Structure 1
């Protein structure tokens, strides 16, 4: 039976419209690294946290499509840190992990495989040119929860920080959303960055035994920019 990877997350992973191009969520690139028998249902949406994704009913919507042997891949952290927004904010060691457990429980109830993914790192460098972590205790809290609950962890935070360190301040410019019209941010991706993160995720799912060797592909390739597609309107 075909499997589906259901992605719950925020704007770093979510689908984008043509108006936002070349901004690209890494979830848009994930299908290119999975075999034809593995689908991707990208439920990630701009601005969501582990809390607001639940309170807005998006987890309930996702769960309706979960089937046995599917994968529920959960990545939050960017918007959970917004302490001035009670609708999104969670505290790393309490409400953040409490909300993440709701995703784990939902997957288990559906006989699907829950997987936690630490938040992808922003493009931040110190004066010495070293990549600097930006997510505080959220990645550590998620790692601890994965150990406690016995679920696979895709450590995107560590992998992306290592890649940004390797690329350096200049090399990472092509990976983040720095558009020709002057729009710039160091959180969201251009196609090369989205492809690089998606490749990390696919490889980690293979290494964790969540996906089999015949369920992944192209792990030594970069997705060509021409393969990406943007939506005509914002997803519901």
Structure 2
């Protein structure tokens, strides 16, 4: 498998990286104390940091720190429009791994853009190239004595006429589940968990979670928006809570590593910085 675009890595390193941590946690304690662990997120727009010009669109990685306790930081490398393939080919995996230290976690969620098989820069086949690219993330994390975690892609908001929540990711979640079993790495099945949650909430109840906006509701979307893929703050908080709880249930995180899993998180806690 050719990784011909790694030469772009240097330029891409200048792009913004959302790092939710204090300097002491990210780089070692004050006075040379113990360094906290970091959760590095590799993913697409559903997880990515959003900026003021996209608000109220919100990635679930922005809300994940609300549910983490102890010396845990989040380094959110997820970027809009990326697949398991393009994230590697653009040098973004290299940039992520440069910051990984022993004991860290590398959370990997791709699928939305891998499905765009008409685009040779992003599309993958679920049972061949998708798995091959995902193995690069596992290998890179393991080489740095970090723990890789595979996360199936969060579901879109799709309902049949009878109100049944519909899966939209084809064979990609199954391919990731099979790879996790083969490689013996933790799997957080957010696709299944989110599909069940959307079914519970129904078409009306899920609308407030996604970036559905009436005309004039946001200056960023003057004509309104009907987006069944990306989240508003409530949806990002919902998916982040689900992810944190699943990491605990899978014993990837210990009880001391999480907080507030059943607590109300006000949407006003989400903020959108200005673009760099």
TM-score range relative to shorter protein: over 0.9
Gaps of 5+ in 2: 1-34, 216-223
What is the aligned partner in structure 1 of residue 226 from structure 2? 184
Residues 81-92 of structure 1 aligned to structure 2 (within 5 Å):
81-92=115-126
1:36 positional shift: 4.0
Q: Which residue of 2 aligns with 1:133?
A: 167
Q: 2:18: which partner in 1?
A: none
Q: Aligned equivalents of 2:174 and 2:263: distance in 1?
A: 30
Which residue does 1:205 correspond to in 2?
247
Question: What residue number does 2:69 align with?
Answer: 35
Aligned residues: 234
Look up the match of 1:96.
Answer: 130
Instruction: State how far apart, in whole Å, the 1-side matches of 2:63 and 2:74 are.
Output: 10
Shift of residue 208 of structure 1? 1.0
| Other-structure match for 1:230 | 272
CA deviations on 1:88-143 (whole Å, 9 max, x unpaired) are 00000000000000000000000000000000000000010000000000000000
* Aligned-CA RMSD value: 0.8
Q: Is the 8 A contact 1:29 1:223 kept in 2?
A: no
Partner residue, 2:16: none
Q: Is the 8 A contact 2:157 2:198 kept in 1?
A: yes
Distance 1:223 1:107 in 2: 31
Aligned to 2:41: 7
Q: C-alpha distance in 1, partners of 2:264/2:74? A: 18
Which whole-Å CA distance do the structure 2 matches of 1:21 and 1:57 have between them? 27
Partners of 2:168 and 2:183 lie apart in 1 by 25
Residue 92 of structure 1: SS of its match in structure 2?
A: coil
1:92–1:137 contact (8 Å) kept in structure 2? yes
* Secondary structure in 1 matching 2:127: helix
1:214 aligns with 2:256: yes
Highest CA radius of gyration, 1 or 2?
2
Runs of 4+ displaced beyond 2 Å: none
Structure 1, residues 155-212: CA drift from partner, whole Å, max 9, x if none? Answer: 0000000000000000000000012331120000011100000011101111111111
**Bigger relative contact order, structure 1 or 2, given CA contacts below 8 A and separation 6+?**
1
Aligned partners of 1:180, 1:153: CA distance in 2, in Å? 37
The separation in 1 between residues aligned to 2:176 and 2:38, in whole angstroms, is 23
> Which sections of structure 1, spanning at least 5 residues, go unmatched?
none
Contact preservation (8 Å) 1:195, 1:222: no
> Distance in 1 between the 2:62 and 2:264 partners?
13
